[in-house]
Amino acid sequence: MNLDILLVGVLAIFGIGLYGLLITRNLIKVVVALQILVKAALLALVAAGEASNQLNLSQSIAMTVIVADTVVAVIGLALAVQVKRVLGTFDTTLLSKLRG
């Protein structure tokens, strides 16, 4: 696999994730955008491992990243669900002030 093309693709995916974070108003879309960012990071990590001939090390680190990112998604979604239950909305522009 040509690593240069892959890296260009990774940058594009990363950019899409960032763009999603900048543009979204919905709490669940925030979690979606974060997941896309992490997929791009995983690809970059394994690509680096392949380039420096340390594939197993990068795989081990990638496992840790997947676990951490899944836990983040779980807790993010739980928080979003709670926010919807208590405050009634997913819209971040309405959630901009901390209420007691």
* DSSP 3-state of 26: strand
Residues 3-22 that bind other proteins (CB under 8 A): 3-9, 11-22
CB of 37 to other proteins, least distance (A): 10
41 lies in the binding site for other proteins (CB under 8 A): no
Residue 87 in contact with other proteins, rule: CB under 8 A = no
DSSP state of 91: B
> 36: closest CA among 2, 3, 9, 5?
9
Instruction: Tell me the number of residues near other proteins by CB under 8 A.
Output: 80
Nearest Cα residue to 17 out of 41, 36, 1: 36
51 binds other proteins (CB under 8 A): yes
